[in-house]
Structures are given as structure tokens and as C-alpha cells.
Amino acid sequence: MKNYPKSERVLGLILEDKAKTNKGKVFVRYKDQELTYDQVNERANRFGNSFLELGIKKGDKVGIMLPNCLEYLDVWFGLSKIGAVEVPVNTAFRGNQLQHVINSSDVSIFIVDQQFLDRVAFVQDELKSLERLIVFHTEGEKENIPDLRFEQIPFGVLYEGPPSPPGVEVRHTDLMAIMHTSGTTGPSKGVMLSHSHEYNLGWNMAVNARMTSEDVYYNYFPYFHNTAQAIISIATILADASMILRERFSVSAFWEEVRQYNCTVATLMGAMLDMFLKQPDKPDDLDTPLRVAFTLGGRKESYEAFQKRFNVNLFQVYGGTEHNVVTYNNYDGCKLGSCGTIWPDFEVKIFDKDDNELPPGTTGEIVTRPKDSYIMFLGYYKMEEKTLETYRNLWYHTGDAGYFDEEGYLYFVDRQKDVIRRRMEFISSTDVEEVINSHPSVLESAAVGVPSPEFKGEQEVKIVVVLKEGMQLSPEELISFCVPRMPYFSIPRYVEFKEALPKTPTEKVEKHKLKDEGITQLTWDREKAGYKINR
């Protein structure tokens, strides 16, 4: 693979170079469509020039709320050509979270699929920075389009720009994206990522997977996650490889499509391993072109069973949106259950609560810092105090608990922060509580993660609610209140009403007690009650 000089680690420049060296080679296949490297670059140039015509300039924040599709790549790559900053929005967001992401990122123009316009309408009076919408149609015309106060621009105008490079100087140190992570003690934070950071992440993943131009990466991750952007797409570009793009993950279609498209590389979440293992055995389980899969989370037992059944080289890594991927297992010798050893670009240590380094075998907080410039995040957007807080004593504090063994392998233990992990999503308990507490009958609430009965190592959301004096509320009524106000994956599965929440003398909720209680006889289960939620 070509390792670009620092000054050239800019996505737009790399696309231009790859269009020349890989002319005619397929970069991405999506459903019955495919685009070559040179086609991708030409479309990016057209979009970049069209953005300039619309008055979008370098440094402007542009929100994107689209499902996985080729047009997402056009928008992302087009913005990178002119140095504008993409602000990806989770397609499940609605209500307070949608409002917060747009306002806190100073988004003035929002590229949104028509199917999400009703969510924009729901919060439009609270959107302070937003002025214009570029509306994309994925599923034909939709009836009952809501009334919106924003100027609406048809998506088709973005194809009308000239195919030549826009000619905007973009540096590797420039901000490329603001991606939002789950809030812990407050709203979600906008993580500022440079072109250089994204290049470094994609390069390291490609190197560790030993990717070549013959590889085909299977990508079902949504593009509002950096896994889809840097770990998969940029790694594919740097390796001169190809990518299969799906709208979403499907356990039933995975192996069929891996074989159909001869996919050789994938990324899997730990919970997915158990999903695959629960599927009936098939005679061709060992017959797969998939040679390697990066893994995030999961149990050692699942790793061993998966490798034995499907003969795929799994190796777990550790990282985060802010601090890049900092440990990797070795391609030739993965130590199952561990997250690997420290990558040369970074320092990683285990600290106690006073930031003293702990010896091997002792669990503490995972902290990290870079050995090179612009390979970790640039801070939280407009949250300087929070940035300084996480960089305490010149180390980035991940909020994750872990330990090193005597051989230098890192083991992830748990999240120290007040975040609930459900499937592929990290859910802010603060965001859940904010919606629940806005119900007129609710006095206060506490959201906690409880073990999933279906997937080991995963959690479900439980909300413990205290009602105002004299008020009555059923679990079904509470969940119906949540549906238009939060992502489907954040809506609590379990609801329990209490007279009061356990608290410390300083009135802080003792969530550890609620977690220890888990599911009780008084807990209402949405799944058992048959309450269905549409995505």
C-alpha cells in the first residue's frame, strides 16, 4: 500500500490520486449498482463544486441524516473536497437528541432523507442554527410531507457541478468531521476529527488486516459511525480494494452475501458472534472466503466457538471515537479474550483514581495519548472544559476499565462511565432520563443497564420511575411517550415504578443499587408484554 506523506493525508487528495491509479476498478457495490474509483472521484468533485455554488465554504458544518446508500459517499467525499465539516446524525435520532446534535454543532444546512422530515418538523422551533435543507428521496414520493420553515433544496442539484477538482486547499490538520458520542453526565459530545486522524485509523486497520487490492470488505455499518467511514471505507481506499455496502446488518443474509461477493474482510461486534452461533449448523459453515474479521467486544468463549465453526481469523482491537484504535492483536497469533498489544503510534497505561500507574493484572482506568501529531481527536466541539477534563494530567481518560497481563496484552473489563451498551449502540442514560423526566406525570427517573437475557455481555435499558404525587401512569403510556422522542434502541425495555430512588446524603442517585436489583417481580418487560416498536 502507498503510505502518503503527512501533508497529503487528505481524503479529497487521496481520492484524486486513487482515481488515476485505479481507473476502471470497482470501489463499491450497493444492491445492483457499482461505482469505480474514478466515478467516485468525479461524483465527489461534482458535489464539492455544487456545495460551493450553494455558498457552503471550508469550515462550514453540514449535517447528514441519510441511510446507507451511494449518495452518502457522494456527500461525505464532496464535503471533504472543499474542507467543509460533515456532522453525521444517527438515523434513529429524534426529539431532544436530534435537536442537540444540530444546535450544538452549528449546523446551518442539513442533508436529510425525506423519511426523516417529520422528525425535523417535531423540533423545528428549537433549531436555532439551521437555515436550509437538502432533501433526498430513497423510497419515492412520500405523502403528507410536513410543513417546514426552512428553505428546501432538491438533492439532484448536487450532481450539476463540474467534474473538475473544486480547487480548495485542504490540509491534513483540518477538521473533517464532528461525530457525536453518547453523553455520560450530560448531553452527547461532538468529537472533532481531522483528516490526518481518519487516515491514521484507516491505514492502521488495513495494515493489521494485511489488506491488498484483491480484498473485498463487507460493510453493513451505518455511516454515522466511524467504523463505516475510517475503519472500513478509508481502509478500503488505501488498500486499493473493493467494498460491498449494505443498508444494515442481517444475520440471515451475511454468509450468503459474503460468498456471493467473495468478501474477505469484515468487522463484527461481539454480540453478533453469539447471533451467528445460534443459527443452525450448515454443511458449508467452513466454506467461506472471509479470511479476517476485526472484532469489538464479546466473550472469549464466543471467539473460540466462532473460529472453530467458521474458520475465520478473528482479532479483537480496542479504541474509541476520540482516541483512535490503540491496541491490536497480531494477525498471526491472536490472544483470544484480549484486545491485543499497544500499537507503536500510541502510549496506553492503566491508572488508579489518582492517576497513578497500576501494575499488570490490576484493573483500573485505560488512559492513552499519541506519539504523533493529529492522530487523536482535536477536542470536543465548543466544550473546552470537557476536553481539558478528559485530558487530565496530559493523558486522555477513556472512562473504560481494563488491565494488562504480564505479556502486555490489554483486557477490557467494563465501562466506568454511566453508559448503557445495547448491541452496536452506546446509550446515554442522561438522554433517556431527560425524555422520561419531561413527562408531566414523572417526578424523577434513573436509567440503568441490566444484563440482556438473550445476548451475553450485552445490556438492555431499564428505567426506574418515581411519579409525582397523585399521578398515575402505565408502562405502555410511558413507552408511547418515548417513541417520537428518542431513538428506538434507547427506548427502555424494562420499566419499574418506585416510591423513591436510592440516594447518597448529597442526593446523588445510587445507580449501583438499581443495577444490583436488576429485574424484579415489579419490573414490566416490553418484550413479554408484546409492545412493538418500529424503527
Catalogue all structural domains in the chain, each as residue range(s) with its CATH number. 6-189 (3.40.50.12780), 198-415 (3.40.50.12780), 420-529 (3.30.300.30)
Q: How far is CA 203 from CA 9, 196, 230, in A?
A: 10, 10, 9
| 120 Cβ neighbours under 8 A, 6+ residues apart | 98, 110, 112, 127, 133, 146, 148, 150
Distance CA 228, CA 218 (A): 10
Three-class secondary structure of residue 44 per DSSP: helix
With contact defined as beta carbons under 8 Å apart, do 250 and 220 qualify? yes
The per-residue pLDDT for 453 is 81
Altogether, the residues listed in the chain come to a count of 535
Q: For 322, which DSSP code? A: T
Helix (H) or strand (E) holding 46: helix 37-53
Query: Residue 524 is placed in which grid cell?
Result: 414490566
Residue identified by cell 466462532 is 306
Task: Outline where 158-290 has alpha helix (H).
Answer: 195-208, 226, 235-238, 254-260, 270-278
pLDDT mean for each 10 residues of the chain (535 residues): 96 98 97 96 98 97 97 98 97 89 96 95 94 85 76 95 97 97 69 98 95 97 94 98 94 93 92 81 92 80 87 89 92 84 96 93 92 96 93 92 92 71 72 85 86 79 90 92 89 92 66 85 90 82
Distance CA 51, CA 111 (A): 11
Q: Report helix, strand and coil shares of the chain as percent, to nearest 5.
A: 30, 25, 40
The per-residue pLDDT for 154 is 93
With contact defined as beta carbons under 8 Å apart, do 397 and 390 qualify? yes
Helix (H) or strand (E) holding 80: helix 70-82
Distance CA 74, CA 94 (A): 24
Residue identified by cell 486513487 is 18
Q: For 380, which DSSP code? A: B
The per-residue pLDDT for 444 is 82
Amino acid at 504: T
Q: For 26, which DSSP code? A: E
| 439 Cβ neighbours under 8 A, 6+ residues apart | 473, 478, 481
Distance CA 398, CA 390 (A): 7
With contact defined as beta carbons under 8 Å apart, do 133 and 113 qualify? no
Q: How far is CA 194 from CA 176, 206, 366, 386, in A?
A: 5, 19, 23, 19
The per-residue pLDDT for 420 is 74
Residue identified by cell 476536553 is 387
The per-residue pLDDT for 321 is 92
Nearest to 366 by CA among 331, 327, 335: 327
The per-residue pLDDT for 235 is 98
If one counts every other C-beta atom within 10 angstroms of the C-beta of residue 288, the result is: 17
Query: Residue 388 is placed in which grid cell?
Result: 481539558
With contact defined as beta carbons under 8 Å apart, do 102 and 110 qualify? yes
Distance CA 224, CA 89 (A): 6
User: Is this structure's pTM higher than 0.85?
Assistant: no
- CA within 13 Å, CB half, 110: 31
Query: Residue 267 is placed in which grid cell?
Result: 468487522
- Both ends of the chain: CA-CA distance in Å? 40
Distance CA 501, CA 504 (A): 10
Three-class secondary structure of residue 478 per DSSP: helix
In terms of Cβ atoms closer than 10 Å to its own Cβ (0-12, 13-18, 19+), residue 185 is: exposed
Three-class secondary structure of residue 437 per DSSP: helix
Residue identified by cell 453540514 is 62
Task: Outline where 340-456 has alpha helix (H).
Answer: 384-390, 429-437
With contact defined as beta carbons under 8 Å apart, do 18 and 39 qualify? no
The per-residue pLDDT for 416 is 64
In terms of Cβ atoms closer than 10 Å to its own Cβ (0-12, 13-18, 19+), residue 63 is: buried
| 176 Cβ neighbours under 8 A, 6+ residues apart | 11, 80, 85, 86, 193, 194, 195, 197, 198
Three-class secondary structure of residue 419 per DSSP: strand
